[in-house]
Amino acid sequence: MRSVFKKLIPLPATLFLLIACGDNNNASPNNNTSPNKQAAYSAPFNPAELLKYDARHADKRIDEFFHKLHNKSAFNGNILVAKGGHILYENALGWANHLTRDSLKINSQFQLASVTKTITSTAIMQLWERGKLKLNQDVRDFFPNFPYQGITIRLLLTHRSGMMNYVYFIDDLYRAHHWSEKKGLTNFQVMDTIAKYKPHPFNKPDKRFLYNNSNFMVLGAIIEKVSGESYANYVHDNIFKPAGMTHTAVYSKAVYDKIPSDVVGHDRNSWRYSVVPNVLDGPVGDKGVYSTVGDLFLFDQALRSGRLIKPATQDSAYTPRNPMLRGHFNYGYGWRLFEAPGEKVVYHTGWWHGFRHIYVRDLKNDVTIVLLGNLCNGALLHIDDLFKLEGMPVIRKGAYNGSGETSED
């Protein structure tokens, strides 16, 4: 992603500047209707039991792999690897804040960047299950002044809306007018700005897959409009709380003058470049959730247990909705997908303001991998051996032949 609204502060080691950093009840989400009952919990759910881990019994192969990744590829971040609902390995490697020499802790909160999209899509599918919205509803049903016709919730979920990327649009607008970037915009304010300036879309709706943050910023606004509460409150009450995610929250610069997380994002593979949260850290839904490796494991387990949305709804979310890339890769409803004979992996990457992550859920082999980093570099392109250790397919587009782009967000 092009650098936008990031104040990258070059700092000598001796003078490092502190930076905070028509419905029926038998329908499926493949059509336009929705059932009106919430999913019942399918099994007992005990977050404390799920999070139990004894470092003395850590998987030595995984430990060796990550220390090598840390030392040779400069991975800096937190790690959790689980199989069969049991944590095999977790660790925190490196700095939370290089200036203050604060080390990462296992419950350090990271800006999830685009991993947030998995939470937003879950919220949308909840609202669909509860009959609050339809996937084929037009955005104009919720925001009548929205300047584009024919963009539905389904097209937003699958990145087929054709919208321009609001990140670049807002960036250019603020630069042109020299507006202050200290206070973050809300989702509604971005929607009003789009309605006022009517920026040209990239292409017509449903013409092609075009990943960009606008889709999930709009979904965040729809969640607020439909639920009648803030995105932060909705996901807290309906996702974080039932999943036991006590270390997860939404932090928006439209609400907080200083983001209350001690983990600072660093760009350009350098501790000298800390990223200052700004106006673009106001909108949420495309990003903006802060969480831990443990809480993302609980999110995975809550989904697997049917605690958040029904299994059939999840199956629809994990169904390919775009042309296949490299023979294996696709995008569903807020999830990246890997498919091969006998294999099914859902995952998402994240890259924003000095944070870079990958969140992997192997549905066939029951493996969960959570890697959250706060030093942007190419370390996460060197984890093929980790996938092989866990007996799962390699989740990296460049590892496969065939047509299609290989970049990640």
SS3 95: strand
**Pairwise CA distance, residues 291 & 80, whole Å:** 13
Classify 320 as helix, strand or coil: coil
Separation CA 283–CA 217 (nearest Å): 7
Residue 114 appears among annotated catalytic residues: yes
Q: Taking the CA atoms of the chain, what radius of gyration do you get in angstroms? A: 20
Which residues have a Cβ under 8 Å from the Cβ of 395 and sit 6 or more positions away?
Answer: 338, 345, 347, 358, 360, 387
Number of C-alpha atoms within 13 angstroms, CB side, residue 200? 2
Catalytic one of 114, 252, 274, 316: 114
Helix (H, G, I), strand (E, B) or coil at 332: coil
**What Å distances lie between residue 170 and 4, 35, 183, 193, CA to CA?**
9, 38, 13, 9
CA 375 remoteness from chain centre: 17
218 touches 265 (CB < 8 A)? no
The one-letter code for the residue type at 330 is: N
Q: Which helix (H) or strand (E) holds 232?
A: helix 231-235
CB 374 within 8 A of CB 270: no
Residue pair 30/316 in contact by the 8 Å Cβ criterion: yes
Burial call 233-256: b when 16+ CB within 10 Å, e when fewer: ebbbebbbeebbbebbbbbbbbeb
Question: Strand runs (DSSP E) across 259-376, as ranges?
Answer: 274-275, 289-291, 329-331, 336-340, 343-352, 355-362, 367-373
**At residue 286, what are phi and psi to the nearest 5 degrees?**
-85, -20
The residues that are catalytic are 114
